[in-house]
Amino acid sequence: MSKQTLALVKWGLRMVAWAFGVVVAVLVGLHLVSGLIALIGGSRMSLFDFGDFLAGEVYGAWNMAVLIFALCFPYTIFKWGLQYNITRRHTWLANSCLLLVLVVTSWGLALLKNLFLYSTHHLSHFADGAGWTLLTILVGVVTVATIGAGFALLNRLWKWIVGIGGPIVLIFIMVTLVRFLFVTLHLDPATFFGSLQFLATHTAVMIGIFLWLAVMVALNYCFFMKMQLRRD
Amino acid sequence: MNKLTIQHVKKRFGRKQILNDVSFELAPAKIYGLLGRNGAGKSTLLNIMTNRIFANQGQVLLGQTPVADNQAALSELYLMSEVDLLMKHTKVKDTFAMAEDAYGQFDFANATRMLNAFGISEKDTLAKLSTGLRTAAKLTVALNVNANYIFLDEPTLGLDANHRELFYQELMRTYEERPRTFVISTHLISEVQQLLEDVIILDHATIIKNEAVTDLLANAYEISGPADLVAEYTAGMQILTSRQLGKIQAVTVVAALDDHRVLPDQVKLAHLDLQKTFTALTNGGEKHE
């Protein structure tokens, strides 16, 4: 890894750590305040339950922060790269490394959350389904990051147009497709979904996920290579 | 150190042609002025040269190597522009650290000295600084970064007279200590004239002049006197600007004078400075052969 890529990763991680610190501090503050209010009100609720805190607020806030970061960060890191004349390829690589770190951290937090929840309920095998959790987080983060990189190509006006118009068009296409299949072609839903059963096999799902990931990563790379300094 | 070559660069924004077949070379260890009126395409050209935006056509080479997405070549270039690319909460000292991480061998000692001279604290965030001080902080990075081609786009934006003077001194100091190529794009032409070795003038999407300042000014004249004598003396020459007050006329020309032409006693010939030469070349005033 080049020193330029490492530099971008370093600055990005610093920003993530700073943002996460702020989020956790706010959450701890809110938790303590609500605990104190409960205590003053005579409730038997404990002041601070670390397990609940980790399993609830921190995990949720972290995942939300990761998605926002994945969506908004591509153009920010690209601008850092521009300021210090770092190539688009190195910037993409740095962004990918950061996303990987975020995914692994999310996964770690998910496992930790499970550990606390399982130990609370005296259950074992907290790591069951860990692979699927990792895949889910990876697919989610990579998809959102690719949307973010795509948005980085657009100016403000087109961001609004695509941001609002895109989901509407997608919904319209889905509704039209459903109508076409079940109204125009008069397909029987039971028969139709029955014929798709082969897609529910483990292998087919895995192939689908990896194909989706490959397309997203390729798109992400293409978007980064096309990014330019915008005037807005 | 390799020369930087700009080859047949074209850039269009929508229907507007910003750069049309722009070609020139930058030699190592020289100070250039990149001049042009507002909207002439100076910033666009600098952005293309540093791979911030794409040209529609043409390329930029460092030696024989294309600069586009080439880390080794890009690491030789640094552009300080009026656009703020870093986040506003970035501390000044962090901008130094970033330059060190990306380019290596950042001159921290000189940067700290410059910051003190500008009256900026290393711990200040960019958001806390006024426009002028933010420019000063950016200049501090630009003059201490380890790059061989440094482009300064509007380097005096918001700087007061004292800080502009300080910047010119610091530029000359760093240039003497470690000669590198500087390209200064500015509208304060009179102030930078003494610093520049060569000048590149952009007008209407093309380069209209690219030569040594001394050569350009050696052929830049204001010819004044009785209108009929001035007209007779300048017959056949390209008049860039013309002013008339009663019977007295003053015209500007940027061309080698014919030694065989006899200058009438009542006609006065004076050299123009760079700003007046630039104005004459680009003001789109009266032009006739």
Domain ranges of chain A: 3-153+202-226
> At residue B43, what are phi and psi to the nearest 5 degrees?
-65, -40
Question: Which of the listed residues B214, B247, B274 is the one where a domain comes to its end?
Answer: B214
Residue A81 to chain B, least CA–CA distance (Å): 9
Cβ distance A85 to B75 less than 8 Å, yes or no, reads yes
pLDDT of residue B130: 95
**SS3 call for B34:** strand
State the pLDDT confidence band at B91, using cuts at 50, 70 and 90: very high
Q: Which residue has the tokens 């210090």?
A: A84
Tell whether B197 and B225 lie within a shared domain: no
Q: Which residue has the higher pLDDT, A51 or A138?
A: A138
pLDDT of residue B121: 95
- The closest CB to that of B85, out of A7, A79, A225, belongs to A79
Tell whether B141 and B253 lie within a shared domain: no
Tell whether B206 and B225 lie within a shared domain: no
- The closest CB to that of A87, out of B47, B70, B87, belongs to B70
The chain A residues in contact with chain B (CB within 8 A) are 2-4, 6-7, 10-11, 15, 76, 79-80, 82-90, 225, 228-229
The chain B residues in contact with chain A (CB within 8 A) are 47, 50-54, 69-71, 74-75, 77-79, 83, 85-87, 98-99, 101-104, 147
Tell whether B102 and B223 lie within a shared domain: no
pLDDT of residue A24: 80
Beta bridge partners of B57: B10
Tell whether B282 and B179 lie within a shared domain: no
Cβ distance A84 to B103 less than 8 Å, yes or no, reads yes
Cβ distance B51 to A80 less than 8 Å, yes or no, reads no
Please determine, for residue B287, whether its predicted confidence score (pLDDT) is greater than 50: no
SS (H, E, C) B148-173: CEEEEECCCCCCCHHHHHHHHHHHHH
- The length of chain A is 232
Tell whether B115 and B181 lie within a shared domain: yes
Tell whether B38 and B142 lie within a shared domain: yes
Cβ distance A11 to B51 less than 8 Å, yes or no, reads no
Tell whether B103 and B235 lie within a shared domain: no
pLDDT tens for each residue of A102-131? 999 999 988 888 887 777 776 666 667 788
- What does the pLDDT average to over B138-158? 96
Average pLDDT of chain A, as a whole number:
86
Tell whether B226 and B159 lie within a shared domain: no
Q: Which of A14, A78, A84, A88 should be substituted to probe chain B, the one whose Cβ sees the most B Cβ atoms within 10 Å?
A: A84
A to B CB pairs, distance under 8 Å = 63
pLDDT of residue B282: 92
Cβ distance A7 to B71 less than 8 Å, yes or no, reads no
Please determine, for residue A50, whether its predicted confidence score (pLDDT) is greater than 70: no
Average pLDDT of chain B, as a whole number:
93
Residue A85 to chain B, least CA–CA distance (Å): 6
pLDDT tens for each residue of A56-105? 777 888 888 888 889 989 999 999 999 999 999 999 999 999 999 999 99
Going by C-alpha positions, the residue among B247, B243, B249 that lies closest to residue B224 is B249
Tell whether B241 and B109 lie within a shared domain: no
pLDDT of residue B288: 41
Question: Taking CB atoms and an 8 Å cutoff, what residues of chain B touch A82?
Answer: 50, 52, 85
Residue B199 to chain A, least CA–CA distance (Å): 25
- The closest CB to that of B86, out of A10, A80, A88, belongs to A80
Cβ distance A90 to B71 less than 8 Å, yes or no, reads yes
Whole-number percent of chain B with pLDDT over 90:
85
CB contact at 8 A, B192 and B168: yes
State the pLDDT confidence band at B286, using cuts at 50, 70 and 90: very low
Nearest CA in chain B to A4: B102
- What does the pLDDT average to over B264-270? 92
pLDDT of residue B133: 96
Q: What is the DSSP string of A182-215?
A: IIIS---HHHHHHHTGGGGSHHHHHHHHHHHHHH
Where residue B187 sits, what CATH number does that domain have? 3.40.50.300
What residue numbers bound the domain in which B45 lies? 4-214
pLDDT of residue B224: 95
Q: What angle do CA B29, B139, B102 make, to 5 degrees?
A: 75
Beta bridge partners of B206: B203
Cβ distance A85 to B102 less than 8 Å, yes or no, reads yes
pLDDT tens for each residue of B218-248? 999 999 999 999 999 998 888 999 998 898 9
Q: Which of B12, B48, B79, B98 should be substituted to probe chain A, the one whose Cβ sees the most A Cβ atoms within 10 Å?
A: B98
Question: Residue A226 and residue B276: Cα distance in Å, rounded?
Answer: 41
Question: Taking CB atoms and an 8 Å cutoff, what residues of chain B touch A232?
Answer: none
- The closest CB to that of B102, out of A86, A89, A225, belongs to A86
Q: Which residue has the tokens 């895995």?
A: A206
pLDDT of residue A4: 87
Nearest CA in chain A to B98: A7
CB contact at 8 A, B253 and B234: yes
Tell whether B229 and B204 lie within a shared domain: no
pLDDT of residue B137: 97
pLDDT of residue A18: 85
State the pLDDT confidence band at A216, using cuts at 50, 70 and 90: very high
Cβ distance A229 to B47 less than 8 Å, yes or no, reads yes
pLDDT tens for each residue of B200-214? 999 999 999 999 999
Cβ distance A85 to B99 less than 8 Å, yes or no, reads no
Tell whether B16 and B157 lie within a shared domain: yes
Cβ distance B51 to A86 less than 8 Å, yes or no, reads no
